[in-house]
Amino acid sequence: MHTEFENKTVAVVGLARSGMACCEVLTALGAHVIPYDGKPLSEVAEAVAAAQALGLTPVVGGAELDYSVLDYLVTSPGVRKDAPVLQRAVAAGVPVLGEIEAAYRIARAPILAITGTNGKTTTTVLLAEMLKAAGIETFIAGNIAAGEIAMPLIKAAFLAPPEAAIVAEISSFQLEWISTFKPKVAALLNITPDHADRQSWDEYVAAKWRIFEFQDGGDTAVVSEPLLQSTAAADIPIRLDCFGGNELGLDLSQSKLPGLHNRENILAAAAMATAFGIGVEPIRQVATTFTGVVHRLEYVDTIDGVKYVNNSMCTNADAFAKSLEALPEPKVVIAGGVYKGDDVAELGKAVAANTVRALVLIGRSAPEIEASARAAGFLNIHRAATLLGAVAQARGLAQAGDTVLLAPACASFDMFQDFEDRGDQFKAAVSGRA
């Protein structure tokens, strides 16, 4: 495969999952790759060893890059846009590409891309299943954490033949450094406050809308009906299709996914599949049989008449409210971690409005969440030092017919490796394996 990166010198910044995939793929494409990470060697030793196994010489621990030899710099989404290593590249005139931009430039298969605050992963997997049901070889990629089914977009772009399709979940961080990225079909599901620790509201919104920026008349843009009415929609250079109606006449009462928000995810995936030329039957088949994605309202077990549900992927206020709305029965809710939204009062309002029997709080933001619940008039609040302790408390508080729901509404990094680790620990605690 001949690409513009052949025989070019490319620095790859950030040596986590997508960065290492960039190192592997660009090396395979004949680029001279310089892996870079600002962390000390002790924190990136495994990645350094992997890069060295590729025959590369990493630059780590704050050592300087020589920008004069670089043709490109490819950055991972985990690296802040204002990071000095990136801003120095801009000042030196080195083109900075996000991983998804580099992926797009080498892709032979069409890319169908999905962004939004909530629902991205479920919609991505739904769409991929619809394409597979239609007989299309499909790669699931991007900013998606759904067990072992996904890969970095650059790896999918390298592997997927022209007749295949790539369905990619795309984050606001990944959209910061695009310059030609042009999905064949793109969707923006919703926008609610998130990532306030890294992007202002205006920056976050602008990044989300960039998914359509380079599309043209041969492409399709899909948005929710509320977003279609926004001022940003008027700036999109092509016609926007909206989802929210049910033009295909799908029997959504047969869906295995709980909650109104999941019906919206089904309709978004169906709209994208239709735009890509998929017929009604594969779409209908998946809409009525798909049972969900790990860590997203994932049924765990029923013990002594109490159902346990893992929604560890719930990391913001909007996802929290939708999680509670999706389960109308009485609930004991385990929440907490590091809150990264704007107004924590929204969490308390959601608790008070959604048949919550008790609230068990963990993590750094437990005091603020408790205060928000009390301000909303909800008083049955408990604290736990660990998730294992929270599950034990919830078990004692729940009654037959209730659901114990892990819906953190927060980031996980104060107590866990990531949201997947948090969900896995919850499931282990429920089953008695912890």
Identify whether 305 is part of a domain. Answer: yes
Q: What pLDDT shows up at residue 46?
A: 94
Q: What is the mean pLDDT of residues 179-184?
A: 97
Q: How far apart are CA 89 and CA 91, in angstroms?
A: 5
Domain boundary among 289, 318, 342: 289
Identify whether 142 is part of a domain. Answer: yes
Q: How far apart are CA 396 and CA 50, in angstroms?
A: 47
Q: What pLDDT shows up at residue 161?
A: 98
> Do 360 and 405 fall into the same domain?
yes
Element (H, E) at 113: strand 111-115
Query: Which CATH number characterizes residue 16's domain?
Result: 3.40.50.720
Full residue range of the structural domain in which residue 369 is found: 298-431
Range list of β-strands (E), 190-311? 220-224, 240-243, 298-303, 306-310
DSSP 94: P
> Do 110 and 216 fall into the same domain?
yes
Query: Which CATH number characterizes residue 424's domain?
Result: 3.90.190.20
> Do 283 and 311 fall into the same domain?
no
pTM metric for this prediction: 0.77
Give the torsion through C-alpha atoms of 304, 307, 308, 313, to 10 deg: 180
Q: What is the mean pLDDT of residues 356-373?
A: 97
| Closest among 344, 353, 332, 345 to 406, alpha carbons compared | 332
Identify whether 200 is part of a domain. Answer: yes
Site of tokens 């890509």:
276
Query: Beta strand 72-75 with 138-142: parallel, antiparallel or unpaired?
Result: unpaired
Band the pLDDT of 149: cuts 50, 70, 90. low
Structural domains of the chain, count: 3
Domain boundary among 63, 94, 125: 94
Identify whether 50 is part of a domain. Answer: yes
Q: What pLDDT shows up at residue 195?
A: 65
> Do 384 and 270 fall into the same domain?
no
Identify whether 1 is part of a domain. Answer: no
User: CA–CA distance from 151 to each of 56, 139, 319 (Å)?
Assistant: 22, 8, 24
Q: What pLDDT shows up at residue 241?
A: 79
- Those residues whose C-beta lies under 8 Å from the C-beta of residue 222, and which sit 6 or more positions away, are 185, 186, 187, 188, 240, 241, 242, 243, 268, 271, 272, 275
For the chain, give the mean pLDDT.
92
Identify whether 14 is part of a domain. Answer: yes
> Do 190 and 41 fall into the same domain?
no
For 401-430, b/e burial (b = at least 16 CB within 10 A) is ebbbbbbbbbbbeebbeebbebbbbbbebb
Whether residue 78 contacts residue 135, with contact meaning beta carbons closer than 8 Å, is answered with no
Identify whether 4 is part of a domain. Answer: no
> Do 267 and 119 fall into the same domain?
yes
% of the chain with per-residue pLDDT over 90: 75
> Do 119 and 247 fall into the same domain?
yes
94-144 pLDDT per residue, tens: 999 999 999 999 999 999 999 998 889 899 999 999 999 999 999 999 977
Q: What is the token pair recorded at 172?
A: 């606001």
What backbone phi and psi angles, to 5 degrees, belong to 123? Answer: -65, -40
Whether residue 187 contacts residue 268, with contact meaning beta carbons closer than 8 Å, is answered with yes
Q: What pLDDT shows up at residue 322?
A: 86
385-422 pLDDT per residue, tens: 999 999 999 999 999 999 999 999 999 989 999 998 99
Identify whether 3 is part of a domain. Answer: no
> Do 84 and 112 fall into the same domain?
no
Domain boundary among 42, 69, 94: 94
> Do 61 and 177 fall into the same domain?
no
> Do 269 and 374 fall into the same domain?
no
Q: What pLDDT shows up at residue 233?
A: 81
> Do 48 and 129 fall into the same domain?
no
> Do 128 and 268 fall into the same domain?
yes
Sheet of strand 150-151: strand arrangement: 150-151, 138-142, 165-169, 111-115, 185-188, 220-224, 240-243
Radius of gyration over every alpha carbon of the chain, rounded to an integer in angstroms = 22
Query: Which CATH number characterizes residue 182's domain?
Result: 3.40.1190.10
